[in-house]
Amino acid sequence: MFLHLFLHMFFMLWRWRFWDVAGSVGGRYNLYRLRLCSGKESQRFFLPILLLIAATQLASPSSNSPLPSTRLDRLEPAVGVLHQSAVITGTSLSHKLQSTARTQAIFNVLNAHYQATGPVPVHSEFAHAEPLNIVQTLSALANYYQQYPEASKLILGLADHKWTLKYLPKTLKTQVTGSRLAIDHATIYFDPKSGAKLKFHNLCDSKKPFCIASPADALLHELLHLDVMLNDPQTFISQGGLSPYSYPAAHEQHIIALENKLYGRMSRRDQTPRPIRADHKGRHILVACVTCIE
């Protein structure tokens, strides 16, 4: 608007000067006369030019002056991008908070049922001190299990039952006490450095995930035992689970079928193979961490 006003003034003055010069010299030499005029005529000629230069300088923003409002208006699409980014961040944050809450809930269950083994007789084959990093181990288990809805549901479903988780080197087993009519208590013994080799064929060396269960996955097998024992005790008892005379083979096959189903769903979720088996054969192997297979 300011530039428009100055341009208008310039052309008004230019028109006035042009006719003044034209009256003195003649139309055919107007341009030449404008260039060679002197004195007051020269000042009158340069006045519109100076006004034009001043208008141009005022219209051009200096490097130190703030951006005009039109520039700020052009930032609106960028603001939209920031809002979109905030929405994505909010979604990620919401998912992270849900994962954190689930991890904490799983950790609370494991930690509440964990019981220190206590001193082990010096001459016992299990004369190993309690792991110093058991809290970190339980945290790693919780963080691992929360990725899988089926595993999370399994553990959280055991929160209010009577059972104990204990450390025992080179061991992965479940013991249950009770009568033929009811379950009294169950205890899982496990070693966070003891995986389970469940398949024994020539390709196991090159395809270990198909043959070896990490301590975390092997612990799920024992938790499946607990789930049936404590949430469906009649099925466990009917399968000979508390028989003093024989091994509960029917119950074990039932747990293996549940294990295969659980492992299959976990593998479809994380695209990581896990051993699928038809029997209870297996042996312990030393691994580097609770979620490792070697």
> How confident is residue 93, by pLDDT bands cut at 50, 70 and 90?
low
Report the pLDDT averaged over residues 82-101: 50
Report the pLDDT averaged over residues 113-136: 67
Residue 66 pLDDT > 50? no
pLDDT tens digit string along 176-201?
A: 988 877 888 999 999 999 999 988 88
**Same domain? 239 vs 166:** yes
Q: Among the listed ranges 13-22, 97-106, 185-194, which one has the minimum average pLDDT value?
A: 13-22
**Same domain? 157 vs 280:** yes
How far is it, in rounded angstroms, from Cα 231 to Cα 224?
10
* 44 against 21, higher pLDDT: 44
* 15 against 166, higher pLDDT: 166
**Same domain? 102 vs 33:** no
* 174 against 25, higher pLDDT: 174
Residue 270 pLDDT > 50? yes
**49: phi then psi, degrees, rounded to nearest 5:** -65, -45
Q: Write out the two tokens for 251.
A: 């119950």
**Same domain? 232 vs 130:** yes
With beta carbons less than 8 A apart as the criterion, state whether 142 and 106 touch. Answer: yes
Residue 178: domain span: 98-117+124-286
With beta carbons less than 8 A apart as the criterion, state whether 259 and 198 touch. Answer: no
Which pLDDT value is given to residue 218? 96
Residue 277 pLDDT > 80? yes
CA 121 to chain centroid: 44
How far is it, in rounded angstroms, from Cα 191 to Cα 209?
19
**Final residue of a domain: which of 36, 61, 86?**
61
Which pLDDT value is given to residue 180? 76
Q: What is the CA radius of gyration of the chain?
A: 42
**Same domain? 26 vs 138:** no
Residue 78 pLDDT > 60? no
Domains: count for the chain: 2
Report the pLDDT averaged over residues 39-53: 51
**Same domain? 141 vs 219:** yes
Which pLDDT value is given to residue 65? 45
**Same domain? 187 vs 254:** yes
Which pLDDT value is given to residue 32? 33
Which pLDDT value is given to residue 260? 96
Establish if 292 belongs to a structural domain.
no
**Same domain? 157 vs 240:** yes
How far is it, in rounded angstroms, from Cα 161 to Cα 227?
10
With beta carbons less than 8 A apart as the criterion, state whether 206 and 187 touch. Answer: no
**What's the whole-number average pLDDT of the chain?**
74
Which pLDDT value is given to residue 70? 27
| Closest of 152, 128, 180 to residue 262, by C-alpha | 152
> How confident is residue 88, by pLDDT bands cut at 50, 70 and 90?
very low
* β-pairing verdict for 163-167 and 183-190: parallel
Which pLDDT value is given to residue 72? 29
> How confident is residue 206, by pLDDT bands cut at 50, 70 and 90?
confident
